[in-house]
Structure formats: structure tokens, C-alpha cells
Amino acid sequence: MAKKQEAEKELAAKNAELQGADTKVVKDTEKIESEADSTLIDQIKSSAWSTPEEDFDWDADEKAFGNYSEAERAKFEELYAGTFNQINQGEIVQATVVSINNKDVVLNVGFKSDGLVAKTEFRDMPDLKVGDVVDVFVESQEDANGQLVLSRKRAKTQKSWEAINEALENDTIIAGYVKSRTKGGLIVDIQGVEAFLPGSQIDIKPIRDYDVYVGKTMEFKVVKINHEFKNVVVSHKVLIEDDLENQKSEIVAKLEKGQVLEGTVKNITDFGVFIDLGGVDGLLHITDISWGRIEHPKEVLSLDQTINVVVLDFDDEKKRIALGLKQLTPHPWESLDPALQVGSKVKGKIVTVADYGAFLEIIPGVEGLIHVSEMSWSQNLRSPQEFLKVGDEVEAVILTLDREERKMSLGIKQLTPDPWKNITERYPVGSKQKAVVKNMTNFGVFVELEDGVDGLIHISDLSWSKKINHPNEFTKIGETLEVVVLELDEENRKLSLGHKQLEENPWDTFETIFTEGSIHEGTVIKVGDKGDIVALQYGVEGFCPSKHSVKEDGTSLKVDDTAQFKIIEFNKENKRLVISHSRIWEDAKEEARKEEVSARKKEAKLTSSAVKKVKDSVEKSTLGDLDVLAQLKEQMEGGDKK
């Protein structure tokens, strides 16, 4: 009954709108009339619903108007309900275009009212006409005005998201329209959803101008979706890579070592050049570009240049291809002058300087090594950079030549006479010479007598008297020293020199002055952990062990203290002088103690002698008295007898 009343009110409203010449309601009424039972239509047309509103009989129901049997009521309700589709808010449904005006498009979705959608949402359908079926999104079944609210844009967006998600899950290709350029890439419209195409994902090669892609429709693969922020990232590069991977497999399968291919320079790096062989890249290493030495591939090749290369090696699994360019021309060693041999002089340009030597390029692709030891007769040349630099044009002598191994060693010093030849005539043993200090080490000084003739002054041969810890305490680089030739080994090019030998050995004299036990005055010049260094007369230094630097008051000597020292050890061979300050006062105490003991002994001896004399005197007196008494006794005994 309630449904019937609702239907009657609905029809009354439609009838009223019909009188107001509303085209939309007329069409709905016509639709109802075509679908409803003829009996129901006759009753609707003859009922009070068709009368003006002021003549409407509000009590018609109570007057038994419209009273139907239960069977008729059920039939009519079923017919009425069948005229509408069941739609829900938030779903996408199909709608038929009913009419189009300048502002809106009227759509029929089979609901009790039609919906309006702004015409601007159909920009992508310029040929839209009445009767076309489109998908729309049900935003609301009824707004404040009782109007059905539809949206084609939201339907497109939702379907687009479904298609984008499906493309990501199934790894399928999806088409999109490049709308504009943005920072770092392009904006792509995929069925109404904006996606980001990074610049690195446009193509496999670097893109210099993004604008050439704007306005194009391209295919993409969805690589990432951020559902929270509704962000989509797509890639066109992966499609190209997939195609290239297939092409690469086909190309690699047909490759053979030694095969010559045409390719285009795709990229240039410090270590080599990448060549596009028509779907697969190969690496042309810098060492395989030219027989000659080059610093950078761009000296020979440029981008987009087309060249022929030879296949040197390839890896089926990793699809790596090694290419060569220089291998297409004969090796320069094959054109090397056959007249060249060991001892021949050659000219060239220095192309590389290393720590161990320099490489001289005789002709492009043919180089010889000049070892640092072959640059100068001097032994002081430690680094080739001191002698040569890249670009220098020099002459050299061939020392070794191996055409099969394509190796050559060169020398520069051989262009000048060997200074060690007949050296014994110029520097005999015992002769005095002048030399320049070139280098110093912990064990001695290296000096140069002439260019190519070096000698060593051992640290022990610098001074007779001074104790030298390092040669820099005695001399400095660049200083000229007088030396004496001590030893000469021409075969091994070794020259032993001395500086102290210019003077007589003062230790022969020192031996008579600094005798063991003698006392000398000295000044402490250095205090160490084990002892002190003391300067004595004649420039001699002595070593005073720590236990021997203790003064009589128990304190130790300090720097600049002057005191008396006793020589306790003199070693002429090692030029070692050991002295003691403590020994002086210790010996004095010992001497005083000995004198005291001796005096005591002497006094004791005198006392003992005096006592003995007294004893002897007493003993003699006692014995005399005994004799007298004995005689007296005898006299008395004789008188008694008488």
C-alpha cells in the first residue's frame, strides 16, 4: 500500500511538471506509459492526478479511490518496480545519452530520474551524440534538490586506476599521452590519471631535449604506484630494453671472433668507447683504439661517429662484447726498419714517464723503455721526472731488441763516454779530491766528483773527534767537501771516500794525553738517559755514565756544569772515551779512609811496641828479684846448717 501511495505521488509530480512543459518529465511519462499496463494507464489518465493542484482531492483514498484487490495491487507494484534499475552510490554504471545542450549532457541510467553531467567532462569525445552509451560514477542517488548526481570524470579515473594497477600486477603495457615537461622528466596522462616519467626512463640513451616527446602518445610500463599519495611512475625505457634484449640474444648468437661489424659511437668514457652494433653494445677499450698511445678516446673518436670494428671476444651469458679498432690495421712493429739493431741510434718523443723509467715512441705504436738507470751515468738520479718529461724529443741507443716479443730497451747515457773508464788514473787511492754533497742517509754522505762518478763518505769517516749521529750535523746538500780516495772498485763502480783522513789521527796524540786515571776539566753539553756527553779540551768529547755524573752532595751534573772528570776508559780504535766525575771524590774518600786506616795501624803498632817494652822491663825486674831471693835463701839455708 505504501509503495502504491509513493508511486501515485511520483506520478502526480510528473503530471504537474508535464503541465509546466518540462521536456524531461514528458519523456519519463512516455516511457512509463509505454511499459505500464493499459488498465493502469487509463486509470492514471482519468484520475484526479491529472486535475489542477487546486482541485486535487486529498481525501480520495478515504473515499475508496484506488482500492484494488490484493492481486491487482501486487501486479501493478511489480510492473512499477520493473521500470527502474537498482543503482548504488559509489558504483560505476552504464548510461545512455538522452540529450546534449551547451552546458550539460543528460544521461539515463534506468533510475527514477535522469542525471546531468557537465559537457566539459566529455572533451575526449567530440563526436558524442544522443544514444551513445558511456560509463558514469554514481556520486549520489539524490542531492539536496532531489537530483541524481553522476560523474564521468570519476568513472574514468577509477577505471584508469584499476587499469594501472592491473598493468603493474600483470606487467602489461599501457598507453599514455605526454602532456608536459616537468623537473626531471615528463608528465603522462594515462586515461585521466597523471603519471611521472623520469628522464632516465625515457630511453636507453641519454636524452638531451625532453620537449620533443611532449604531445606524443607512447607505450609504457607501470613501475611504481604510491596509493597513499596517488602517485604513478612509468617507464618507456624498459620496453626498449626488452626489445634490445631479444635483439641482443639474436646478434650475440651470430657473433664470431674476428668478425668485422659496423657500429656507431654511443658513449665515450675515460677507459673506452661504447659502440652500438644495432641493438647490442660493445666496449672498445682505450688500449684497442690505436697502436699508438693515447690519453683519452676522444682524441680519436667522437659521438655518433660510424666506424668498423672487429670482434675480439664475447660472453654469451653476460652478453658482453669486446671490440677492437687498431686490429684492422697492420701492427707498426711489422713496418719497423729492419736495419735497426742493438747499438743503433734512434730518435723519438717521450709519451709516458713512470717511476721506473720513460717510454720513447720511435714511430706510432712502437715504443722503447728507457730505464731510469740508463738515463744518466750519475747514481744520484732517483726519478725519471728529474731528467725527462712527456713531449720531449730525445735521441737514444738501442740496448735490447726483440722483434718477436715486440720489446725494446733504450739508453741515453750511452751517448756520452763512460766516466768510469780509466777512473783509476784520475782518482787513485790516497789522492785528495773535491766533491759536491748530493744526498745524505743515516750511514753516510753521497758526493759527486764529476758527472756520473759518485762516492760515499761513511759517517765514521767524517771526523776524528766529533761523535756524529747524522751527517746533517756535519754538512748539507750542495756543499763542497775535500775528500780522500780510500777505496776504488772499478768493476762494481764503487768509490769509498773519507774526509777526516785529510788530517792526522789526533787519537794518536790523545792517547798520550787522556791516559786512564788522568783527571781533566770538562763541560756537560748534553744529558741523556744513559749518561752525559762532556766536552773536554782539544775538541774531544767524553761519555760520562749516569752513575758517574753524581756529585758529592748526591745531585747529578746538569747541562753547562763544569767539573773535573777522571778517564776510566780510552779506546783508540772505537774513539771512545769514558769518564767519571764521581770517581774523583769517591777515590779521595777512599784515599782518606786508607790513610786513616794506615795511621790507626801505625799508632796501634807504636802502642804495641811500647807495651812490649814495658812488659819486657817488668819481666826482667821480676826475674832479677828472684835471683836475689834465691841467693838470700841459699845463704839462710847455709847459716842454719852451720
At residue 424, the pLDDT reads 84
The SS3 of residue 147 is coil
- 194 CB contacts (<8 Å, ≥6 apart)? 179, 187, 188, 232
Residue of 205, 189, 198, 242 lying closest to 224 (CA atoms): 198
Q: Is the pLDDT of residue 471 over 50?
A: yes
At residue 634, the pLDDT reads 66
Q: How far apart are CA 445 and CA 462, in angstroms?
A: 9
Residue 372's identity, in one-letter code, is V
At residue 106, the pLDDT reads 85
- Mean pLDDT of all residues belonging to the chain: 79
Residue 194: beta bridge partners? 189
Q: Quick one: CA dihedral 311, 314, 320, 322, positive or negative?
A: negative
Q: Is the pLDDT of residue 26 over 50?
A: no
Phi and psi at 274, nearest 5°, equal -95, 125
Where do the structural domains in the chain lie, given as residue ranges?
A: 1-83, 255-328, 332-415, 423-502, 507-580, 592-642
Q: How far apart are CA 250 and CA 290, in angstroms?
A: 30
Answer CATH for 423-502 from 2.40.10.10, 2.40.50.140, 3.40.250.10, 2.60.120.10? 2.40.50.140
Q: How far apart are CA 146 and CA 124, in angstroms?
A: 29
332-415 has CATH 3.40.50.800 classification: no
Q: What is the pLDDT of residues 82-122, one digit of tens each?
A: 555 566 666 777 788 888 888 888 888 777 677 888 887 77
Give the model's confidence band at 294: pLDDT under 50 very low, under 70 low, under 90 confident, else very high: confident
What is the percent of the chain with per-residue pLDDT over 90, rounded to a whole number? Answer: 14
At residue 20, the pLDDT reads 44
Q: Is the pLDDT of residue 507 over 80?
A: no
Q: How far apart are CA 176 and CA 229, in angstroms?
A: 20
Over range 409-430, report the average pLDDT. Answer: 86
How many CB atoms are located within 10 Å of the residue 179 CB? Answer: 14
**Highest mean pLDDT of the ranges 30-34, 345-349, 416-420:** 345-349
Q: Is the pLDDT of residue 165 over 70?
A: yes
Answer CATH for 255-328 from 3.90.1150.10, 1.10.3720.10, 2.40.50.140, 3.40.50.300? 2.40.50.140
Concatenate the DSSP letters of all residues of 426-449 into one string: HS-TT-EEEEEEEEEETTEEEEEE
Q: How far apart are CA 366 and CA 358, in angstroms?
A: 14
State the architecture of 507-580 in CATH terms: Beta Barrel (2.40)
Q: Is the pLDDT of residue 430 over 80?
A: yes
Q: Is the pLDDT of residue 57 over 80?
A: no
User: Which triple of cell numbers denotes residue 523?
Assistant: 763541560
With helix as H, strand as E and coil as C, how does 94-140 read?
EEEEEEECCCEEEEECCCCCCEEEEHHHHCCCCCCCCCCEEEEEEEE
Residue 276: beta bridge partners? 264, 281
Equal fold, 423-502 vs 507-580: yes
Tell how far CA 623 is from the center of its chain.
120
- Cβ-defined contacts of 88-92 (< 8 Å, 24+): 88/138, 88/141, 89/138, 89/139, 89/140, 89/141, 90/137, 90/138, 90/139, 91/137, 91/138, 92/135, 92/136, 92/137, 92/138, 92/155, 92/158, 92/159
